[in-house]
Amino acid sequence: MTKLLDLPWISRVRRNHALEHATLNLLSSRLPGKSLGGLSDAAGFWIIGTVAVDTLSTAVVDALNRLRAGERRLAFHAGCGTGYAVTGIIAGSLAWLGMLGVKDGYRQKLDRLPLVITLAMLGAVAAQPLGTRLQTQVTTNAQPGGLEITGIRVFGSGIFKISRVSTRG
């Protein structure tokens, strides 16, 4: 698995994902109550939500410097899609298993509903540590290496803006 994660394109996505999380963590502490999201790829990441360019620029530079200084915890974000995906897959799969063998009748499906809900809830609880582990060991890499910030562009106007943080390395 390590060889796969170290492929150049995948490595860039993982390092950008870590920088995205670190940036969002710093922005959330500097802009309390501000709702922001992110999406990473091999060429950088997007910040979804309105943030002043100077504020974002400072947060990105600080995030990269702090990751380089070894603050790996910044690469973890509780609102990461990795955790949501793992939760959805496990809870949904257990709910599907709970409905196996049920005929087409509405009554049989309704009778099985308490079991399905219980299985889905147990799956959601069990998925949390797995989602965290997957995020910290697979979908992010908190060691930025030679990653460099090459630019920030803002798109949109009014109350809805998205920002593109471009990287290389």
What's the whole-number mean pLDDT along residues 136-148?
A: 96
CATH code of the region 2-76+140-168: 3.30.980.10
Cβ neighbours for 38, distance < 8 A, ≥ 6 positions apart: 20, 21, 23, 24, 45, 46, 47, 48
What's the pLDDT score for residue 45? 98
Q: pLDDT (tens digit, 9 = 90+) per residue, 10-57?
A: 999 999 999 999 999 999 999 999 999 999 999 999 999 999 999 999
pLDDT of 1 above 80: no
Supply 146's token pair.
């030679």
Residues 23, 38: contact at Cβ < 8 Å? Answer: yes
CA 162, CA 151: separation in Å to the nearest integer? 14
Q: Please, what is the end-to-end C-alpha distance for the chain in angstroms? A: 22
Determine the 3-state secondary structure of 111 from DSSP.
helix
**Of 143, 165, 169, residue with least CA distance to 61:** 165
What's the pLDDT score for residue 128? 92
Domain residue ranges in the chain: 2-76+140-168, 81-135
